[in-house]
Amino acid sequence: MRRMSDSAGATQRVLVTGGAGGIGLAVTRAFVDDGARVHLADPDAAALAAVTESTEAVTGSACDITDPAAVTAMMDDLLVALGGLDVLVNNAGIAGPTAPVHEYAPDAWDAVVAVNLTGTFNVTRRAIPLLKQSPAASIIVMSSLAGRFGYPNRVAYATTKWGLVGFTKTLALELGPFGITANSIHPGAVEGERVRQVLRDRADVSGRTVEDETGRALANQSIGRFADPVDIAALILFLAGPHARSISGQMLPIDGDSKSAQ
């Protein structure tokens, strides 16, 4: 049965950043299947068009979230399309290169921080006034296993994912009085091309094979498989739903019981 967002029976209105591919696309599909209307913010115009043209329940804006003016324009589009906002899924993020700290290029650091931290801030600050008008609003922030452990050779990624934890906990404290929940989720390795590229990069740095790096990654988990994006989407759907109204300020791992970010 499809779930409605509030006691008045209004359809949930959802914003997903980076929603045209990967985990974001799985999240988009989960909300649509649940009866929601979704607006996407994604820099990939072609991928965005492919998703929005496939269903009337999804609209979108080609948007670089590091640009405050682009975020403002995207939020204007969202208001036209949805008329308001109940759920913000801060999913957009980039991994950056794989290199030890002393070899990590400053411009690469700046790029990761700009998307993962500043971009999330840009979107959230503009979304909060709309969320305050919702009777049951939620913010879900995509952190990572790297937001719980150190991550060798991925300094910018790990730093930003830890930073998102503090960001989320601050949101929970500030917005709780308005009935708005805020939680971070922490996936481990997620099945798909992105983790395959990470494993290739690790192999380049370590001198081991990709197969060896894959085995090491799976051996680091009690449950020896990479996470399914559909499962991550289901967790987000729950956190945005009626049975999670008392869950806020929490870090929720979905990582196969990983022991580190190795």
In this prediction, residue 201 carries a pLDDT of 78
151 is catalytic: no
Residue 28 pLDDT level (bands cut at 50, 70, 90): very high
CA atoms within 13 A on the CB side of 109: 11
pLDDT score for 10: 79
Q: What are 40's two structure tokens?
A: 């996407």
Distance of alpha carbon 242 from alpha carbon 136, whole angstroms? 8
Q: What is the mean pLDDT of the chain?
A: 91
What letter represents residue 185's amino acid?
I
Can you tell me whether residue 218 is helix, strand or coil? helix
Buried/exposed code over 115-132 (b: 16+ C-beta within 10 A; e: otherwise): bbbbbbbbbbebbbebbe
Three-state SS string over 177-194 comes to HHCCEEEEEEECCECCHH
Residue 187 Cα distances to 13, 65, 174, 235, angstroms:
24, 22, 25, 11
Inter-axis angle of helices 155-175 and 106-113, nearest 10: 30
pTM of structure:
0.89
Q: Give yes or no for residue 164 having a pLDDT over 60.
A: yes
pLDDT band at 210 (very low <50, low <70, confident <90, very high): confident
Q: Are 255 and 187 in contact (CB under 8 A)?
A: yes
Q: What percent of the chain has pLDDT over 90?
A: 75
The angle formed by the CA atoms of residues 75, 254 and 1, to the nearest 5 degrees, is: 65
Whether pLDDT at 2 is above 50: no
> Residue 199 corresponds to which tokens in the numbers above?
């494993």
Q: What is the pLDDT of residue 227?
A: 76
Q: CA neighbours within 13 Å on the CB side: how many for 88?
A: 30
Q: Which tens digit of pLDDT belongs to each residue from 76-133?
A: 999 999 999 999 999 999 999 999 999 999 999 999 999 999 999 999 999 999 999 9
Catalytic residue among 149, 151, 157, 162: 157
Domain residue ranges in the chain: 13-188+228-249, 190-226
CATH class of the structural domain 13-188+228-249: alpha beta
